[in-house]
Structure 1
Amino acid sequence: MTTDERAVLGELFRFSIVGGIGFVVDAGMLYALLPFCGFYLARVGSILAAASVTWWLNRRFTFEARREMAAHHQWGRFLVVTGIGGLINFSVYSLLVASLPVVAALPIIGVVAGTLTALGWNFTMSRRHVF
């Protein structure tokens, strides 16, 4: 394994840890917002909260060695990349909530499915275009 391959695997590992933290924020916010907003608006809020946490952690932890860009520019790029990832995530979640009663009863299943679906996009695009 080359040094570059090891570096990418290390970043993917750290990105996944940060993603796990983001998942907890995402799911926690979803369940906190559900009584007030319903399935879809609560999910938008939970994705925004998770994106904020994961950007900051990825900037400080995952891609710290490549932090040349000003934070506000990086944040804007991150929002675009994770916005597309969020659309992928939200689409999977919405499809499952609307079509499977078990997911409507346990929306965490939809959160997991959406998160895993968007992971590859978010890592690749964050690595190439944000950090």
Structure 2
Amino acid sequence: MAMKIRLARGGSKKRPFYRIVAADSRMPRDGRFLEKLGTYNPLLPKDSEDRVKMDVERIQYWLGQGAQATDRVARMLEAAGVVAKSERSNPKKAVPGKKAQDRAKEKADKAAAAADAGEE
């Protein structure tokens, strides 16, 4: 069984509240889970100790059983010092999209044309 440690959303519309759960990866996001491992309330201030609450021992147990933490949960675990910080590489993040590159090229062409016209 492929296990994930992930967030299950609760709360009402525009008022998110998440449970950190150990679940089979084939189950729906808010569906069946095996164990509740903590909570995450994004509406609280970042320095609040109630923002993220985790049962670290049970999380380590599930990680030992082969469960994979999702990206968001992995970041929370790194902040808590449960798992080692992993290096993330997304070299294309800073590259503008195709339309933005086209606009920049057109703008550069117009500026070059204006500069050529001004020199003559």
Q: Give the TM-score normalised by the residue count of structure 1.
A: 0.23
Q: Give the TM-score normalised by the residue count of structure 2.
A: 0.24
Larger radius of gyration: 2
Higher RCO (CA-CA < 8 Å; seq separation 6+): 1
Bigger share in helix: 1
